[in-house]
Structure 1
Amino acid sequence: MDDLKNPPIAYSCYYTRHREGEQFVREHVFSYQISGTLTVNTGDAEHISREGDFRFIKRNQLLKFVKQPGEQGVFKSLSIYLDQATLKDLARDLGIENPKNHVEAEKVIPLPERPLFKSFMDSLLPYVHSETPINYQLALLKQREALLILLQAHPELKDILFDFSAPGKIDLEAFMNKNFQFNVHLDRFAYLTGRSLATFKRDFERIFKMSPSKWLQQRRLQEAHYLIAEKGKAPSNVYLQTGFENLSHFSFAFKKMYGISPSRLV
């Protein structure tokens, strides 16, 4: 029996401390918040999921997250990823021959509670608590079950789920001003704006009159300065939020640009 190298079922559990970070969401995700609170920032909106909430996260996007334990000191969430291969197989079986492309939709969609959602998520728990990895064929069945449940409860998700297109070419300036704080490689920014890396760099320098790396550092430092000086936030809480990998690099770049260490602004 073949097991998945990257299982589509993800169980997140943290005790006492909160966790924060960012990620690129490559595939659609159907999630259930078991306990605690998840705050997701997509660059242009903030979404909060509390205990008992269900959500659908659209693929091909960047997001920052904060996982906060609840009153019992535990954060738990359960998700199933809906990959493109499974969706294409289902589209073929359902006779969907001409799916729409570039469907505009909210990046994170709250889903009203339904009995089917809860029973489905409960059925995943034995898999995440088992010491044996989920069998590949069983994983496919659970993915298909999730998709059919979503389509039955929310038929309007059909155009989003069966949109197999790559990101189209979009307004580069608007996108970067919304997403500069995400610490990802330039090729990821290029892909999400519908460009090759070479075209992205050429368009970027034409619009911003400087290289992407230089502009990103300046823009992140400007935002950090604002958050520290005007909002009273601590440098240790700002550097990740604005796209820096570590505090020492952030402090060095900040002092080089402003002539003062970020801690002196507090």
Structure 2
Amino acid sequence: MEFKTNYINPDIKLSVFEDELFKTEALFEHHLLVWFISGETKIIQAGASYVFNAGDIFLIPRNQVATVINYPKDGLPHKAVAMHLTVERLRDFYSGIEVQSITDINDKIYAFKNHPLLQSCFSSLLPYFDLQEKFPEALAALKIKEAITILRTIDKNVDGILANFETPGKVDLVKFMESHFMFNLPLEKFGYLTGRSLSTFNRDFRKTFQATPQKWLTRKRLELAHYQLTAYAKKPVDVYLEVGFEDLSHFSFAFKKHFGYIPTAISRR
């Protein structure tokens, strides 16, 4: 696997991936603004999925969990520039700005296609990745402020995301887990997203579902995989990553143990 990440600043990076695919489960601690140079990315969230290609620019809100699958395409590597919009930088940016309170916050991914202002902001960073000199923090702060200002200019609703500094509160466990079970996150992360410590999450989970989190998650992922294979005639290789498994052979083993037959047997019925 050939995966390279070049940071010119802790909050600004260029990533290059040249293998067949690269998949990760991500809980975004900071808002992430991304510009694709080449390749393709599929992002799967609870109830939504997105596909982005060369030239696309998008914003992933923080505290959102997603499956991210990156592919090279058209003979070119998967290549992207990403900018972390941290809470600290955003607090500083909004300190002198009055923002109208927004109660219904949308956690969707914001897509900006190849907006010329954002593209210009990102492309101006490319020469710095080839320099040996240290990228000045003052310049990084200016570029990030430029990006935030452009976002607010082209989308008036983005303040509702960027100026929201709250941490996740305690949420309904059944509703959350039924819509997020396909994400292969540590239990500590599930606890954080539901507003619970790890011990409280485990206690509430066993009481609510009458099972351990590991057993329940495996069963739900296998049931979703079975549905995808039967209802949409998908192949196991196209399903296992999206339902939360990391390895095809492990998926096949667990599938047979649960259903009594291997997943490829469905297509032969």
Name the counterpart of 2:221.
Answer: 220
Name the residue aligned to 2:241: 240
Describe how 1:147-226 pairs up with structure 2 within 5 A.
Answer: 147-226=148-227
**Cα contact 1:80–1:143 (8 A) shared by 2:** yes
**Contact in 1 for aligned 2:184/2:245 (Cα 8 Å):** yes
Aligned partners of 2:38, 2:172: CA distance in 1, in Å?
A: 38
> Amino acid of the residue matched to residue 37 of structure 1?
E
**How many angstroms does 1:29 deviate by?**
1.3
Shifted more, 183-192 versus 10-19: the winner is 10-19
**Deviation larger for 147-156 or 212-221:** 147-156
Tell me how far 1:179 sits from its aligned partner.
1.2
Separation in 2 of the partners of 1:112 and 1:73? 20
User: Could you state the TM-score of these two structures normalised by the residue count of structure 2?
Assistant: 0.84
- State how far apart, in whole Å, the 2-side matches of 1:164 and 1:142 are: 21
1:232/1:113 Cα in 2 relative to 1: closer, same or farther (>3 Å)?
closer
Question: What is residue 30 of structure 2 aligned with on the other side?
Answer: 27
Deviations 1:206-255 (A, max 9, x none): 33222211110111111222233443333344332221232343333222
Q: Does 1:41 align with 2:44?
A: yes
SS at match of 1:40: strand
Aligned residue type for 1:148:
T
Give 2:108's aligned amino acid.
K
Q: Is the 8 A contact 2:11 2:84 kept in 1?
A: yes
Using the alignment, how far apart are the partners of 2:97 and 2:9 within structure 1?
A: 28
Matches of 2:25 and 2:137, distance apart in 1: 28
In 1, the alpha carbon distance for the partners of 2:63 and 2:103 equals 11
SS of residue paired to 1:204 = helix
Secondary structure, counterpart of 1:32 in structure 2: strand
Give the count of matched residue pairs: 261
Deviation at 1:125?
0.7
Contact 1:100/1:162 (<8 A) preserved: no
Q: Structure 2 unaligned segments of length 5 or more: list them.
A: 1-6
| Contact kept in structure 2, 1:102 and 1:165, CA below 8 Å | no
Say if 2:125 is the partner of 1:124: yes
CA contact (8 A) 1:43 1:178 kept: yes
The aligned counterpart of 1:78 is: 81
RMSD: 2.7
By how many angstroms is 1:6 displaced? 6.7
Matched ranges for 1:241-260 at <5 A: 241-260=242-261
TM-score by length of 1: 0.85
